[in-house]
Structure 1
Amino acid sequence: MSEEVRLVAWVRGHVQGVGFRWFTRAKALEIGGLSGFALNLADGRVQVVAEGPRKRCERLLDWLRDGDTPGHVDGVTEIWDTPRGGYDGFAIR
């Protein structure tokens, strides 16, 4: 059984106003088994919070870094934590 984790990632670059949150949600749903959200921050970054099996969170993180994302990603900073729960699916905020 895979360890359940919480991934919090901050995505830098040209990632607002290009459908980035929508595509992030679609990718999370495609991977499956993830809950959380994608949120535009005031400083131009997008924050992505995903909870679920570690391997699935790692797949989402790999996509954020190197995938066919809209806009342009300059870098991703992430932290790993224990899941907090309370999410209903994967939302755009």
Structure 2
Amino acid sequence: MARVCRHGYVSGRVQGVYFRQATAAQAERLDLDGWVRNLADGRVEVLFEGEEAAVNELTSWLQQGPEAAEVTALELQEQALQGVAGFIVRR
């Protein structure tokens, strides 16, 4: 199966609800590479790559996020592979 990369933004109540940590846990469970970080405007930015099925699964999960989150919008675009290794929470 082909590797794909997606980059984008999650809006809503996504800061202060362990969104970044939960995203990293999901990405690691799915063996995805990339990163996640909070933005000053209240959104979360995410980049992840890996096998297409796993990328699709994380994409679906991001539409809901962790229990305390309230996702109002998910904007993702396919990108060229970035070649990152591992998944990190950026500060």
TM-score, normalising length: structure 1 = 0.88
What is the distance in 1 between the residues matched to 2:45 and 2:39? 7
Aligned to 1:18: 17
What is the distance in 1 between the residues matched to 2:61 and 2:37? 17
Does the 8 Å contact 2:64/2:70 carry over to 1?
no
> Match of 2:81, SS?
coil
Alignment of 1:1-93 (within 5 A): 2-32=1-31, 34-66=32-64, 68-85=66-83, 87-93=84-90
Q: Which moved more, 1:70-79 or 1:59-68?
A: 59-68
Identity in percent = 37
Equivalent residue letter for 1:10: Y
Any unmatched runs of 5+ in structure 1?
none
Does the 8 Å contact 1:23/1:70 carry over to 2?
no
Equivalent residue letter for 1:62: S
CA RMSD of aligned residues (A): 1.3
What is the distance in 2 between the residues matched to 1:44 and 1:25? 18
Runs of 4+ in 1 over 6 A off after TM superposition: none
Equivalent residue letter for 1:65: Q
Number of residues paired by the alignment? 90
| Cα-to-partner distance string for 1:40-91 (whole Å, 9 max, x where unaligned) | 0111100110011111111000000135443211110110012021x23100
Does the 8 Å contact 2:9/2:75 carry over to 1?
yes
Equivalent residue letter for 1:88: A
